[in-house]
Each structure stands twice: as C-alpha cells, then as structure tokens.
Amino acid sequence: MQDMRAVAGRASEGREPPRRACPGDLGGPVIRPVATAFGQVAEIVGAGSLKPIVSDGARVDFHPAQQIRAACRVARLGPTTVTETVSSGHDVAVPAQEWPSLMLQMGGRSRVRHGRIIIRARAGDGLIMPPGSRRSRAEAANKQAFRGLCIPLPKETVAQAWRGIGPVHLRGDTAAHATLLGLVRLLYAEIEGGSRLLSRPSVSEGWINLLVEAVAQAAETAVLGGRGEPVRRAAQLVQQAEDAIQADLAEIASPTDLALRCGVSLRTLQAAFAAERGHSPQAALNLMRLHAVRRSLADRAGPDTVTEAYGDCGVNHHSRFSAAYKRQFGEYPSETLKNR
C-alpha cells in the first residue's frame, strides 16, 4: 500500500511532468499533485489501459478499466510515513523491505503474497508484513474502490522479531488484534483531521511506540495460536529453539541470544516456552547445558578436565554451575569425570 509513494513525491516536486493516456491505448497516466491534510497527493487518472509505473524498484500495474483512478496520499510521522492508497485496481511487486509494515484495509479487497504465504483481505482487515519482498493485488469490491493504509515500522527490535516469521492476518477477533486495528484507525482520524500535534517529535514518537507495542502483542497472539490466523505455533517455536541450543550451545549465552537465533522477540519466546514447557527459556538453557556437560564428562573420549568441558558447553559461572550440577545429578562434575 505504500508502493506508490515515490510517484506522489515526484509529482509534488515537479520532477515528472504529467503524462496523458488515450482511451484504449497503453499510454501514460495523468499525474495531478493535490494538497490535502495528508500532505501532497498524487492522483492518477486514465482510461482503457495505462503503462506500468516503476519507482524505487517497485512496479505498479493498473488494471484495465473504462475509468482508471488511483491516488496516493503520504503523511509524515516522525521517521516513518502513513500512506493511504485508493485505487480502482492495481498489482504491485515490491522489492525487499528492511522494515516490517502495518497495513489496514478500508475498502475493496486484496491478495498479498509473501514467499509461499497468500493472504486475502477485505475491508476492515489488517496485515502485519515482515521484512522482505511481496506481491499484491488490489481490487474494488461491493462497489467500493480499494482503499488502504500502510505504516512502515522503523524499529530494529520489531524488524528483528519478525525475521523468519510470515505475515499475520488481523481480523479483530482477538483483543490484541482489535486493539492494534483500533490504534491505526485512531491515528488515521488524527491525520485526516489535520492535527498539528503529530508534527511534534514527542507525539510522533509516542504514536510509533504505541504501534510497536501493539504489534508485539498481536505477534505474540499469532505465535501462540490465538483465534487470529497463526503463523507459527508455540510448539514449533520451542522445537526450533531447542534445536538451536543443541546445535550451538557454546555460542548461546542467554535467552536474548536464543530469541535472535529464532527470529522472534524475547517476550514471544518466553510466552512460547511457558505455554509448551511450563518454564522459561533460561531454565531450558540451564537444563540442556547441565545434561550436555554430564554427557561430555561421562564420555571416555571426552575432555580431560572439567574446565575444558565447561568451555565446550558455554559455561561461564563455574561455581554456580557446579552447585546446580550437584542438585540435578547428586554429584559434582569432578566426580562424574573421575567415575568415567
């Protein structure tokens, strides 16, 4: 939905003259810059067929129609933008994006493809799109033109949390999803009403923080399999985390490291472990490290010293670990090595 922003920018700055399409021809669109409460708008009109628009690596193909109309309105929100797109119908191919995007569909229908995942959305639905490339089709429906909002989320923590996770379809059927959709609608109303407060850095930063927090909660709901469309079940996430620990125990020092390996936020990882194992990621790390050290010390072909076994398994606090080892197995690590 943010994919025609560059067209709006070029039109408003006068860097690209309007091009007119003749009815029935594959001609160029007429681009009209218009000022609104949203800021500059690129309004595109034509008839029959229009040539595609290619900008910043994104390609927009307009669906043939007797009357083709599209408009792209862009408002600043601190370091990001809120973009409203209205269209009689178009296809978009977007190159890899660094940030996740939050979308709200207000009219028409759409189909969004991200990798192998396809989501079909209608008016009132929302989407959280992870970083990466995608393809979208927007169409009119029920005599309504397609109309949607897109807000890129410029927070590294959010982008990191969504690496490896597919899109989430927001229908408002969980509290977390309804809250997020409500926030986006409220923000749109503030922009549409011409609120000057949004130009203040403290206010725009506050809005971004609210949206990021709401996205994190919606993501957690999706991962844990709430009534919204799940993109990864807690069991799958826990299994992925345990596989990562087994494969690279010496390099994973903390739950934060583990969350990064799994491509989710720490809070999401903690919620998944609580749901599936009844304990925290830290407890899982501790337990798996204890058993890894025990296997190493009991192996006749293993290390010659306890210190060496600790190093192989990423143990940093030796005395604390030895005490935990004694509680778990009834003997100290040195005794396991001695009885090898």
Q: Which of 167, 190, 223 marks a domain boundary?
A: 223
The reply to whether 78 and 126 lie within a common domain is yes
Position 229 scores a pLDDT of 40
pLDDT of residue 141: 92
Same domain, 90 and 156: yes
pLDDT of residue 216: 78
Residue 193's CATH number: 2.60.120.10
Domain that holds residue 123: 5-223
Q: Report the number of distinct structural domains present in the chain.
A: 2
Cβ-in-10-Å burial (0-12, 13-18, 19+) of 17 comes to exposed
CB proximity list for 5: less than 8 A, separation 6 or greater = 72, 74, 81, 83
Cα(70)–Cα(83) distance, integer angstroms:
13
The whole-number pLDDT of residue 295 equals: 92
Element (H, E) at 267: helix 266-276
Asked, for residue 229, whether it belongs to a domain, the answer is: no
Which residues lie below 8 Å from residue 182, measured CB to CB, with a gap of 6+? none
Question: Is the C-alpha dihedral spanning 123, 125, 126, 129 positive or negative?
Answer: negative
What amino acid occupies position 195? S
- Six token digits for residue 198: 């949004």
CA atoms lying within 13 Å on the CB side of residue 46: 29
Entry field: residues in the chain: 340
What are the mean pLDDT values of the chain's consecutive 10-residue runs (340 residues total)? 45 38 41 50 64 82 83 88 91 89 94 91 91 92 92 77 72 81 91 86 89 80 53 73 91 90 80 82 94 92 92 91 94 92
